[in-house]
Structure 1
Amino acid sequence: MELQKLIYTVENGVAIVTMNYMKNLNAIDEQMADELMYVVDAAEKDPNVKVLVLKGSDRAFSAGGDIGYFYQLIQAGGEVNMDGLIAKVGIVADGLKKMSKMVITSVCGAAAGAGVSLALGGDFMICADNAKFILAFVNIGLVPDTGATYLLSKAIGVSRTMELAATGRPLGADEAKALGLAYKVTTPEELDEVTMKFARKLAAGPLLSYKNIKKQIYDANYSDYKQWLDNTEIPTQRECAASMDFQEGCKAFIEKRKAVFEGK
C-alpha cells in the first residue's frame, strides 16, 4: 500500500509509525484508518519488527475526527454515516492490544477525540509535558469511539471515565501520569529520544516473554473488546451521528459559537 498520511519505517527492530497529515492535525478519516490497519498488520507479520512506536508531530498527536468534513456533508444535506470508519479504527484499536509485539504511543501536543483512544491503545504511553487529552465527542453531540470508554473504564474506573466522557474537559500530561495512563512524562524536545531509548530497551528484551505477557493481559481484560466495538460502540455512535444535536454541534464548532443542543 502507498502511504499518504503515515510514514512507516523500521530501524533496529523498532517500527515507527508517524501520523503525518498536519493539514487537519492528523484527523482520522477512512484513508488514515486504512493506512493504520495496514501498518499494524505489517508490523505484526514482520519478523524484523520487535516493538511498534506510534507518534504524531510536535504540534499534535491527532485531532480525532475530521469535523470539517462532517460539516461539509451536513451543509450539503448529506447523511453522515460513520459505521465504516468506526469499524476500521476498531480493527486498529483491537489490533494494537492483540499485537504480539510491545506498542509504545508517543504523544506531543493535542490528542482529541479518537486521538485519545489511539494514545491509550498502546502498552506504554510516553508523553510530552504539553500533551493534552480531550474526549471532545460530547461537545459535538457524539459518544467516544475507537474504544475510549472501554479502555478508560478498565484503566481508571467508571466514575472518572464518566467525568471525562460527559464533560469533555482536558486532561493534562501530569494528571495522565498520576492516573496511571502515561508511563512517563518528558519535555517536547526530549520526547523522541526518551521514546526511542525505551523502545530500543524493549527490543533488546525477552520478546517471547513480552508476547505472552500481552496475551495473558489481553485474555484477562480485552477478550470481548472487538465484540464490544462492533456491538456497542458502532450502534451508539450511529444513533448520535443521525441526531440534530450532532448537526448543531458540528455547525457550532466550525462557526465558532456555542452549540444549542435540544436532545434530538
Structure 2
Amino acid sequence: MSDAVLLDVEDGVATLTMNQPDRMNPVTGPISEGIENHLDTVEERDDVRCVVVEGAGGAFSAGGDIQGMKDRLEGDESLDEAVDQLERGLSETMVKLVTCTYPTVAKVDGPAVGAGANLAIGCDVVLASDSASIGFVFNQVGLSVDGGTSYLLPRVVGVNKAKELVFTGEILGAAEADDLGLFNHVYPDEEFEDQAGAMVDRIAAGPTVALSRAKRLIQDGIEKDLEQALHDEAAAQGVVFDSHDHREGVEAFLEDREPEFEGR
C-alpha cells in the first residue's frame, strides 16, 4: 500500500496521517485512496475506538491537485471520465469517512481548503491549532463544489452562510471558524498536540458501542420527524442495553467511581 497515508493504531486510536507534505496533502489520487483503504482496514479491526485524521508537514490539506487539473485540461480525458473518476475517488472516500462506525476527529494544524476543508468537517469533531485555517475555495479555480460541500457545510453553518463562504472563497482563520462552529475547539499552537490528544483520549475511552449508535442517530436525525427519531433512539438503546459498557456504567455510578469502558 502507498505511504501517501500512514496508519497507526495505539490504545484504541487509529490515526490516519496524510503524508505528502511537499504538496500540502492534496485529497486526490494516492491520499484519497489511502484514506479509503485504511478506513476499510479500521472497520475490520476490533481494537479501534476512535479515528483521527491529520496532515503532515504543517498543513492539513490543500484540497485539489491543481497541476492534475491542468494535466486533465490539456489531455484527452473526456468529461464523462473525469466525473466518473471523481465519483469513484473522492466521493467514495467522503462517504466512508462520514459513515465510519467509530467517532472521527480531524486535527487541523495549518490550512484545510477546498476538498481538504470537507475532509475536516466530514469528521465528527474538528480540533484546530491557532495556526489553522479553513476555506471552501473552489471558485478560485472556476469550479462549483464537490467532496460533500453542499451536504456538510450547510449543516454546520446554515444555508445562507454556506453560500457566502462558497461564493467568496474566503479563507477563515481559526478564531472565526471557531465562532461559526466549523472548529469544535481551538488550542494554542504550543499546546495543540497535548490538548487535542487529551480530547481524543477522552473520546476513545468512552462506551464505543453507545457512541457509534449515538453518532448515527444524530447524523440521521436532521432528516427525520420527532416520532421517527424517538423510535430509532429506542431501537438503538435496545442494542446498547445489552453491552458490557452499559453494565459497567451503571455499576460504576452506583459504586461512586469512574467507569472503565472497554468498547464492547
Tell me the TM-score range normalised by the shorter chain.
0.7 to 0.9
For 1:88-167, list aligned pairs within 5 A. Answer: 88-167=89-168
For the residues of structure 2 that align with 1:178 and 1:171, how far apart are their CA atoms? Answer: 10
Query: Aligned residue for 1:33?
Result: 32
Structure with higher Rg: it is 2
CA deviation map 1:79-131 (0-9, x unaligned) = 56143134322222222222221100000111111000001011100001111
For the residues of structure 2 that align with 1:10 and 1:47, how far apart are their CA atoms? Answer: 11
Q: Identity of counterpart residues, as a percentage?
A: 31
Query: Aligned residue for 1:73?
Result: 72
Cα distance change of structure 1 residues 73 and 84 upon mapping to structure 2, 3 Å threshold: closer
Cα distance change of structure 1 residues 23 and 222 upon mapping to structure 2, 3 Å threshold: farther
Query: Aligned residue for 1:210?
Result: 211
Query: Aligned residue for 2:181?
Result: 180
Instruction: Look up the equivalent residue of 1:42 and give its one-letter code.
Output: T
For 1:225-240, list aligned pairs within 5 A. Answer: none
Query: Aligned residue for 2:13?
Result: 14
CA deviation map 1:63-94 (0-9, x unaligned) = 10100121133245655614313432222222
For the residues of structure 2 that align with 1:21 and 1:213, how far apart are their CA atoms? Answer: 34
Contact 2:9 2:15 in 1 (8 A): yes
TM-superposed CA distance for 1:193, in Å, is 1.9
Cα distance change of structure 1 residues 129 and 58 upon mapping to structure 2, 3 Å threshold: farther
Instruction: Look up the equivalent residue of 2:5 and give its one-letter code.
Output: L
Cα distance change of structure 1 residues 160 and 48 upon mapping to structure 2, 3 Å threshold: same
Q: Which has the higher contact order (CA 8 A, sep 6+)?
A: 1
Contact 2:24 2:57 in 1 (8 A): no
For the residues of structure 2 that align with 1:76 and 1:157, how far apart are their CA atoms? Answer: 39
Q: Secondary structure at the match of 2:40?
A: helix
For the residues of structure 1 that align with 2:86 and 2:190, how far apart are their CA atoms? Answer: 33
Runs (4 or more) in structure 1 with deviation over 4 Å come to: 76-80
For the residues of structure 1 that align with 2:153 and 2:101, how far apart are their CA atoms? Answer: 22
CA deviation map 1:143-166 (0-9, x unaligned) = 121101211111111110000011
Query: Aligned residue for 1:5?
Result: 4
Aligned alpha-carbon RMSD (Å): 1.8
Moved more, 74-83 or 62-71: 74-83
For 1:222-261, list aligned pairs within 5 A. Answer: none
Q: Secondary structure at the match of 1:96?
A: helix
CA deviation map 1:195-225 (0-9, x unaligned) = 22111111111112101101201222479xx
Moved more, 144-153 or 66-75: 66-75
For the residues of structure 2 that align with 1:7 and 1:204, how far apart are their CA atoms? Answer: 23
Cα distance change of structure 1 residues 222 and 194 upon mapping to structure 2, 3 Å threshold: farther
Instruction: Look up the equivalent residue of 2:50 and give its one-letter code.
Output: V
Moved more, 28-37 or 82-91: 82-91
For the residues of structure 2 that align with 1:137 and 1:86, how far apart are their CA atoms? Answer: 17
Q: Compute the TM-score of the two structures, normalised by the length of structure 2.
A: 0.79
For the residues of structure 2 that align with 1:43 and 1:60, how far apart are their CA atoms? Answer: 24
Q: Secondary structure at the match of 2:128?
A: strand
For the residues of structure 2 that align with 1:111 and 1:179, how far apart are their CA atoms? Answer: 15
TM-superposed CA distance for 1:19, in Å, is 0.3
Instruction: Look up the equivalent residue of 1:126 and give its one-letter code.
Output: L
Query: Aligned residue for 2:197?
Result: 196
In structure 2, runs of 5+ residues without a counterpart are 225-264
In structure 1, runs of 5+ residues without a counterpart are 224-264
Moved more, 10-19 or 199-208: 199-208
Instruction: Look up the equivalent residue of 1:15 and give its one-letter code.
Output: A
Query: Aligned residue for 1:171?
Result: 172
